[in-house]
Amino acid sequence: MSTLTQAAPSATNSAVQNPPHARRRTGRIVIVMLALLCTSIAAAPFLFAVTTSFKLRMNSMDGTVIPWLQYEPTLESWNQELGLGRDTTLKHLKNSALISLGACALATTLGTLAGYGLARFKYGIGNKNLVSWFLSQRFLPPIATVIPFVLFFRDLGMIDTLHGMIIVNTTFTLPFAVLIMRDYFADFPAELREAALVDGASEFTTFWRIALPLAAPALVAAAIICFAFAWNEYLFASVLTNRDWKPYPMMVAGTDSVRGIDFGFVSTRLLIAVTLPVVLSLFVQRFIVRGLTFGAVKG
């Protein structure tokens, strides 16, 4: 009896010393600290790029980050890129925009049709096999297909052409669009489709007037992801273009001279290159989140 009497106050004291809300608060603090750590690691390269873009070449690797206190900022790299080299910069930015928009539009269109077909119809070889095949395209090393693309495009006269770059970028961004749209349409309420079919609508009318408008969040998410990957593509551009249709990432990679790499100039071009995708993502981020998380939680 005395043992039970002694154990009861001990349990009560333990509960008082470690209340549930204190443990939850500690857990939240740990999560916030981990989030800040991950954010700092992710933001470090951009902080380096911003500070380096305002430094002289001789100070680009000295590790200073606070302007006017640790180093004297300068606009030399920005003037060189947006002033003297403005025409070249605008030309390559235009090339990247046209290639990325073309690949984005084509991949999203084909991916939407393929995603709807995979979600609504059954195929003899198995829908899972088709989905796995699309997914496997992202595991295939792009370098393994460079030589076939070069030979194929050379015979068709598509080296250093806009439509050639659009096709090759569409090839490697299409799996994203197919998988995103397929997952969305697979979780789409079947009752809406069946009601439209009962009312006399064809399969295409059901897709065009009912499923596609409601799939806008997934459509935007797929389009932005395809655009970002096409915008950042460098490997195929380096071997399939030589003068007229070089995208902007090739300018970023080609920032060197007989004296070595000018890191201030590289940082300036890097910041220009990431600006457009970041701005687009900020404007449509709510659609991206809705499109990528649709169906993730089911009641």
The verdict on residue 5 lying in a domain is no
Looking at the fold, whether 70 and 129 belong to one and the same domain comes out as no
pLDDT (0 to 100) of residue 73: 87
Average pLDDT over residues 206-235: 88
Measured over the CA atoms of residue 150, residue 156, residue 158 and residue 159, the dihedral's sign is positive
**Cα-Cα-Cα-Cα dihedral of 2, 3, 9, 10, to 10°?**
160
The verdict on residue 23 lying in a domain is no
The verdict on residue 153 lying in a domain is yes
Average pLDDT over residues 159-181: 92
The verdict on residue 259 lying in a domain is yes
The verdict on residue 197 lying in a domain is yes
pLDDT digit string (tens) for 239-287? 999 888 999 988 887 776 555 677 888 888 889 888 888 887 777 776 6
User: What is the domain extent for residue 54?
Assistant: 45-74
Give how many domains the chain has, as a whole number: 2
The verdict on residue 39 lying in a domain is no
Which pTM does this prediction carry?
0.80
Q: How far apart are the first and last CA of the chain?
A: 49
pLDDT digit string (tens) for 82-116? 887 788 889 999 999 999 999 999 999 999 999 99
Strand partners, 256: 261
The verdict on residue 187 lying in a domain is yes
Looking at the fold, whether 64 and 185 belong to one and the same domain comes out as no
Cβ of 55: how many Cβ atoms within 10 Å? 22
Looking at the fold, whether 67 and 123 belong to one and the same domain comes out as no
Tokens linked to 74: 């300068």
